[in-house]
Structure 1
Amino acid sequence: MDSELFPRACTEIAPGAVHVPDWLDVDRQRRLLEACRAWARPPAGLRTVRTPGGGAMTARQVCLGWHWYPYGYARTVVDGDGSPVKPLPPWLAALGRDAVHAALGPEAATTAPYDIALINFYGADARMGMHRDSDEKSDAPVVSLSLGDTCVFRFGNTASRARPYRDVDLRSGDLFVFGGASRLAYHGVPRVHAGTAPPELGLTGRLNVTLRVSGFRTPGRTRPPGDRTGDRTSGS
């Protein structure tokens, strides 16, 4: 009851991992939602991600800047229609920088621009298994923005998918940033609370916009060093 009577507080979930409730007001949520709808249209639009083993992720995805596929990045939709990936607009990169400043302070700001966006759409039955965002060559903080239905966001440790972890409700407009000691922490979405999106948003389901810095220097395909087939860098 108290959580409904009083504003939710900014909370450090783990070292370098911070939840900022209600960071995006309704107007900014609407503008971001309209942009997501445009990005989701073909070519290089919303797709179902399939793993090398043939499994399908239940959250559908569209990428900007660099196209993520299990388990690397490319400039074209190599696991879809083959179109060039849509560009990441400067205003979205600036939003990522502002988000890091709001959550972690100016000392955490990165000089490299945010150049990857993974946009995941969750229906009522969609989930995301525990995974790490480990296919980038930069250790800049990951920025996660939520629109629509509330989800349970499970934020764990850097050693394994098992406990200890902490469950956080991410509502529409919430910001979650993780960097530093938590940059490679396992995280996932075990549940979406259907029908909880703000009515004024006009969205059924949940959208998550995850922003990252690639650290890539050369164009084309890139895969992480070593064997990371146990990770799924698919967003939150």
Structure 2
Amino acid sequence: MEKLTLRGFEIYKGLLNSATQQQLVDAVREVAKAAPLFSPMTPYGKPMRVRMTSAGDFGWVSDRSGYRYSRAHPDGMAWPAIPAPVIKIWNDVSGSDRTPECCLMNFYGEDAKMGMHQDRDEGDFSYPVVSVSLGDDALFRIGNLERGGKTESIWLTSGDVVVMGGDARLTYHGVDKIRFGSSRVLAKGGRLNLTLRVVT
């Protein structure tokens, strides 16, 4: 395992071994059985390229009403509990005395990406966001506290964990592309990204 710091983002390269990665993938599949993956609509009327679901007290949703946290899946059911192996990662790297209230689970298919954005729907920015990469490699871009300006990019591979906290908590970031089929973790290809957040 190697720890890097890039613009305040703490990047733990190879933190999770292959057995832990498989355990996490199995846990995500159980969550998706109870709260199926869905393709959210942006407030601007365009579908997002990723499919997602959540676990915890809250899930993250998007539609024409805006981006927000909700206590219920768009189909009406409550979100499942955050799996214990996911909570362990938070406890290991977050430095927080609170447990996460949301685990957002994004699935990136072959052409999926995520535009530059801030995570700012939470009530208290003093708590970090912890991001877990599983499956295919992703080109992760880190920007600035304001839109625009010079950015830096790093390839995240399966088993990498990123902590976005402190001065970097509101830094713009995104995923430009994935190397589809680059990992054996997901047999059919694709990337899973789990992000843990304190919502309230």
Q: Evaluate the alpha carbon distance shift between residue 208 and residue 89 of structure 1 in structure 2; reply closer, same or farther with a 3 A threshold.
A: same
1:120 equivalent in structure 2: 106
CA contact (8 A) 2:130 2:162 kept: yes
CA-based RMSD of the aligned residues comes to: 1.5
Structure 1 residue 39, shift from structure 2 partner: 1.1
Distance 2:85 2:26 in 1: 14
Q: Distance in 2 between matches of 1:28 and 1:113?
A: 20
* C-alpha contact 1:23 1:175 (8 A) present in aligned 2: yes
Q: TM-score, normalised by structure 2?
A: 0.91
Contact 2:2 2:14 (8 Å CA) reproduced: no
Cα separation, 1, equivalents of 2:12 and 2:113: 22
Q: Deviations over 1:61-99 (max 9, x none)?
A: 01111111232111112xx21111222234422321212
8 Å contact from structure 1 (residues 154, 165) kept in 2: yes
What letter is aligned with 1:140? Y
Relative distance call for 1:55 and 1:126 in structure 2 (3 A) is: same
1:64 alignment counterpart:
55
Rounded to whole Å, the distance in 2 between the matches of 1:134 and 1:87 is: 23
State the 1:28 CA deviation. 0.1
User: Structure 1 residue 144 and structure 2 residue 92: aligned?
Assistant: no
Can you give the 5+ residue segments of structure 2 that lack an aligned partner in the other structure?
none
Query: Which of 71, 74, 79 in structure 1 is aligned with 2:70?
Result: 74
- Separation in structure 1 between the aligned mates of residue 32 and residue 68 of structure 2, nearest angstrom: 21
Q: Which residue of 2 aligns with 1:212?
A: 197
Identity of aligned residues (%): 37
* Structure 1 residue corresponding to 2:93, chosen from 83, 88, 99: 99
Q: Does residue 1:14 correspond to 2:7, yes or no?
A: yes
Tell me if structure 2 keeps the 8 A contact 1:11–1:20. Answer: yes
Q: Counterpart of 2:151?
A: 165
CA displacement, residues 122-164 of structure 1 (integer Å, 9 cap, x when unaligned): 011001011111000122111111111001000111111x222
TM-score, scaled to structure 1: 0.78
| Aligned mate of 1:35, from 10, 27, 31 | 27
Query: Counterpart amino acid of 1:75?
Result: R
Task: Provide the rounded CA distance (Å) in 2 between the counterparts of 1:159 and 1:54.
Answer: 24
Structure exhibiting the larger radius of gyration computed from Cα positions: 1
2:40 to 46, 49, 70: 49
Task: State the number of aligned residues.
Answer: 194
Q: CA deviation at 1:54?
A: 1.3
1:25 matches 2:11: no
Which structure carries more strand by proportion?
2
> Contact conserved, 1:154 with 1:190, CA < 8 A, in 2?
yes
